């Protein structure tokens, strides 16, 4: 009796593999048995079983050379570059999607591309964030685009055009604030709040909520990076998940006035809630760099550069919103993706991972 032929191993490429979402996607693909490549500017690998690819998304020729022999079945795009204006965001980030997919097209191997975007799809770009008329919450995927230039729209259009040309399927994943594990990431709320709490404890300051009254009292949701990774890999292998855009949130809602005291207790801190006006992290932590360097030396932390752990501006932007931000997950559930995460448990799981990795004391 002859043996059945061996099933070829599936091959994936994670773009932005060292980022907060890219690391989660790469880990999940490895766990699911994919031969996994991870593209980053540094050329480092987030996992021993992820093959590093060093390339800059802004260098079309370099991308083509670096990816010539990769030939992935599945591509997960989790990277973007923040520029000074939205016009530059569109040029750089839309161009990156276009050049990446062009670099992969000669091999003809790509079957599915998953693109991570976010809720600026509904809220508007940085230059018009939360201004003008916006859709009612919870946000639904079939809302029309806002009348502002937006690099998420440009990325989508490049994805749709390439899919039409080359015959692969696609999915778009619109995440909210991402909870995850990474350093050197520009948008990392868990690491930012953990660094803030550590600095408050070191200096004897109370753990002050930095945001708006709306965010303190109102309902909100967030996205666990592992859940986003799970949704991306699900879409790659499930017909109902293909050629569709999906919101990606944990499935629960919470109020910061509920979670904030629990975070303070985890760090053994006194806390203060909203009072009269936002008290931003950018202002309160303006003098924190030398304190963090001392903390890092005293506790043997692996990252003495506070800017690689905390992104004050991003957490200020999310926690300072003056509008409700909640997403609808029914489209995803109807298509068959019903996974959820407990936001409170996720926060403290990642906080413990940062402590165990000696990123925070």
Q: Provide the token pair at 100.
A: 């990446």
Whole-angstrom Cα Rg for the chain = 21
Q: Which of 120, 122, 350, 354 is catalytic?
A: 120
State residue 334 phi and psi, 5-degree precision: -65, -35
- In the chain, count H helices and then E strands: 15, 11
Beta carbons of 263 and 347 less than 8 angstroms apart: yes
HSE-CB for 277 with a 13 A CA cutoff: 3
Cα–Cα dist 178/168, whole Å: 27
HSE-CB for 190 with a 13 A CA cutoff: 25
Q: Which residues lie below 8 Å from residue 184, measured CB to CB, with a gap of 6+?
A: 18, 308
Question: Beta strand 50-54 with 74-77: parallel, antiparallel or unpaired?
Answer: unpaired
Cα–Cα dist 191/30, whole Å: 25
Cα–Cα dist 255/215, whole Å: 7
Three-state secondary-structure class, residue 129: coil
Catalytic residue check, 37: no
HSE-CB for 174 with a 13 A CA cutoff: 25
Catalytic residue check, 122: no
| Whole-Å CA distances, 142 to 27, 243, 325 | 31, 13, 16
Q: Which of 37, 122, 152, 196 is catalytic?
A: 152
Q: Which residues are annotated as catalytic? A: 120, 152
């Amino acid at each position: 009796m002859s043996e059945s032929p061996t099933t070829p191993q599936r091959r994936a490429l994670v773009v932005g593999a060292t980022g907060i979402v890219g690391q989660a996607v790469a880990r999940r693909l490895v766990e699911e048995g994919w031969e996994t490549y991870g593209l980053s500017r540094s050329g480092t690998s987030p996992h021993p079983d992820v093959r590093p690819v060093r390339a800059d998304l802004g260098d079309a020729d370099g991308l083509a050379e670096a990816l010539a022999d990769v030939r992935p079945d599945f591509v997960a795009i989790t990277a973007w570059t923040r520029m000074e204006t939205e016009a530059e965001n569109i040029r750089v980030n839309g161009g990156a999607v276009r050049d990446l997919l062009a670099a992969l097209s000669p091999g003809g191997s790509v079957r599915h591309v998953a693109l991570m975007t976010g809720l600026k799809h509904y809220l508007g770009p940085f230059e018009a964030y939360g201004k003008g008329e916006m859709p009612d919450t919870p946000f639904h995927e079939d809302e029309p685009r806002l009348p502002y230039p937006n690099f998420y729209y440009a990325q989508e259009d490049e994805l749709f055009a390439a899919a039409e040309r080359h015959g692969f399927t696609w999915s778009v994943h619109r995440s909210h604030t991402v909870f995850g594990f990474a350093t050197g990431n520009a948008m990392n709320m868990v690491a930012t709040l953990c660094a803030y709490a550590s600095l408050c404890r070191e200096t004897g300051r109370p753990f002050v909520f930095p945001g708006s009254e709306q965010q303190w009292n109102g309902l909100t949701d967030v996205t666990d990076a592992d859940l986003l990774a799970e949704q991306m890999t699900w879409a790659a292998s499930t017909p109902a998940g293909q050629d569709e855009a999906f919101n990606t949130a944990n499935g629960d809602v919470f109020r910061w006035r509920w979670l904030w005291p629990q975070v303070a207790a985890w760090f053994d801190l006194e806390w203060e809630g909203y009072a009269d006006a936002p008290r931003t992290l950018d202002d309160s932590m303006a003098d924190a760099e030398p304190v963090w360097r001392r903390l890092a030396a005293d506790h043997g932390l692996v990252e003495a550069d506070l800017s690689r752990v905390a992104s004050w501006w991003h957490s200020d932007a999310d926690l300072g919103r003056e509008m409700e931000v909640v997403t609808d997950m029914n489209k995803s559930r109807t298509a068959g993706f019903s996974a959820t995460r407990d936001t409170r448990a996720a926060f403290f799981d990642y906080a413990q991972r940062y402590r165990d990795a000696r990123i925070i004391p």
